[in-house]
Amino acid sequence: MSYISGLGKTESCIFCDKPSEDEDKKNLILHRGKKAFVIMNLFPYNNGHLMVAPYKHTGDFLELDDDEMLEIMQLTQLAIRVLRKTMNPAGFNTGFNIGKAAGAGIDAHLHFHIVPRWVGDTNFMPVVGEMKVISEHIEVTYANLLECFRREAE
């Protein structure tokens, strides 16, 4: 799998680098707030897997101030609303993986996962075939989500 083999990994921080660029489509950034932003996961656990990350570079949850924590949760609500309208999932897995031991792929910069789920969506492919079946190309998903984010964020 690309993520495990290191394809796409860099020494710099993607959660710092991507929002500093002016290429939201290329970087899969769907929405920018004042303290945090919403980005698609390039290596999704499921179709529509989004992340909300603060602009502040920290891997320590206790270093987030009240405004950053509030905006992360507000953007999480916005993301869930958009995913419900565009993809109609049956549920969500959400949360932080803080530290390598907890499963954080990028432990130096906090990011809140929002993973849409459907009944029966898990299968054996990631374990047996080292692949994940995604039902829609990431660029198509990006376009659909972006349109809804623009409407919902107004």
Separation of CA 61 from chain center: 17
- Ligand-binding site membership of 137 (annotated): no
- Note if 111 is an active site residue: yes
In DSSP notation, 43-84 reads S-SSTT-EEEEESS--S-GGG--HHHHHHHHHHHHHHHHHHH
- Find the catalytic residue in 31, 49, 57, 111: 111
Cα 44 from Cα 40, distance rounded (Å): 8
Cα 36 from Cα 10, distance rounded (Å): 21
- Compute φ and ψ for 93, nearest 5 degrees: -105, 130
- Ligand-binding site membership of 113 (annotated): yes
Contact partners, residue 87, CB within 8 Å, separation at least 6: 47, 48, 116
Provide the annotated active-site residues.
111
Q: Which residues are annotated as a binding site?
A: 41, 113
Q: Which residues are annotated as a binding site for substrate?
A: 41, 113
